[in-house]
Each structure stands twice: as C-alpha cells, then as structure tokens.
Structure 1
Amino acid sequence: MTITAKYCNNCNYILHADKNHCASCFSDDLETKELKGLGEVYSYTKIHAAPKDYADIAPYYIVLIDLDEGLRITGRYIGESVEINQKVKVDNVDKNAYIFKALEE
C-alpha cells in the first residue's frame, strides 16, 4: 500500500497530501506523488483509555513514523509490541488513519 504526499516543485520540500502551499517557501506549485509507505518508528505511545469509537481495540499503539522519503506521519500500529527505530510499512487505511505493521526482514 502507498501513501500520497505532495512535493514542492520550487524547493523540493515534502508535505502532507492535504496541504495547498509549501510550508518552506509558500509556493503553490505542488505535485502529488506516491510514497512507498516504508519507514521506521520515531516514537510511540500505548493507548489504554481510548475514545468511545476505539474502545473495542484498546489497548493499541499510536506511532510517529519517519518515512523513507523524509515525511514524518502519525498512525496506528498493529502488533503486540513496538520499538523505537523498528522498520515498519503501511498496511491499511482505516477511518482516515494509516495502519502500520512490522516489516518482515
């Protein structure tokens, strides 16, 4: 599965797909590109007291992922445990959230 992002054609800055102007140079000359969805865990937290909509899956992990292409995004992690610098890949998108799992090496 891939992730959509935008690249600034003026300064090559990478942005989240929902942005309309570059945060670096303020250009609106953006191009949509597909990212591989591969990266590593920068940080994480385990949610035990979940909001009502997610109570049925608690406890679960929220992860901050540094994608290989340079974008840092937040998502949910599927698995029993997670570690900093662990290699992951996007597995699915659920309720507008990226779902990551460990990358089998």
Structure 2
Amino acid sequence: MNITAKYCKNCDQILHADKNHCASCYSKELKTKELNGSGEVYSYTKIHAAPKDYADIAPYYIVLVDLNEGLRITGRYTGQSVEIDQKVQVEAVNKNAYIFKPVEE
C-alpha cells in the first residue's frame, strides 16, 4: 500500500506528510511524494497495558520502521512476533496510524 509523504525540492529530504517546512534546510518548497510503504523494523515494543480504545487487541506491537525511501515512521504491527531488521509493509492507515504486516520472503 502506498503512503503519502513530502520531499524538499531544495535538498531532497523526505519528510512526514504533515510537515510545512524542511527540517534540514528550512525550505518551504515541499512537494507530495508517494512511498511504497515497505521497509525494515528498526525497533519495537510490546504493549500489554493498552489504552481503553485498544484494550481489546492487547497485547500488540508498536514498531519503528525505516522505509526503503529513507523515512522512519511508527505504526502498529499485526504479526504474532517481530524482530529487528524484519521486512514489513503498510497494509492500512487507520485514524492516521500506520498498520504494518510482516512480509513473507
């Protein structure tokens, strides 16, 4: 699933979609870019004591993912177990949150 991000026309930095200026060069010359939503797990944590809205799915994983295009984003992981450097793919966006699934190799 593709996701939307921004990139700086001045320095080619890839940014989160909600940014209004580049964090590297402070330029406001930003354009929208489609990313393929795949990458590797950089870090993760398992949530056991979840907020009320997510108590029915606990325990669950929150992952920090390095996308192939260079952006690092956070999301929920739907697999049963997760490892550092595991390949993942965005399968949905729910309430502005990325939902990742494992990639079968």
In the other structure, the counterpart of 2:40 is 40
What are the residue-to-residue correspondences of 1:1-105 with 2, within 5 Å? 1-105=1-105
Structure 1: give runs of 5+ residues left out of the alignment.
Answer: none
Superposed displacement of residue 3, structure 1: 1.1
Cα offsets for 1:52-95 (capped at 9, x unmatched)? 11101100000000000000000000011000000000001112
What's the Cα RMSD here?
0.5
How many Å apart are 1:37 and its aligned residue?
0.3
User: Following TM superposition, where does structure 1 have runs of at least 4 consecutive aligned residues deviating by more than 4 angstroms?
Assistant: none
Query: C-alpha separation between the residues in 2 aligned to 1:7 and 1:20?
Result: 10
Secondary structure in 2 aligned to 1:100? strand
Residue 18 of structure 2 aligns with an amino acid whose one-letter code is D
Unmatched runs of 5 consecutive residues or more in structure 2: none
TM-score if structure 2 supplies the norm length? Answer: 0.98
Pairwise CA distance, 1:19 = 0.2
Q: Distance in 2 between matches of 1:9 and 1:93?
A: 26
**1:15 and 1:35 mapped to 2: Cα distance?**
11
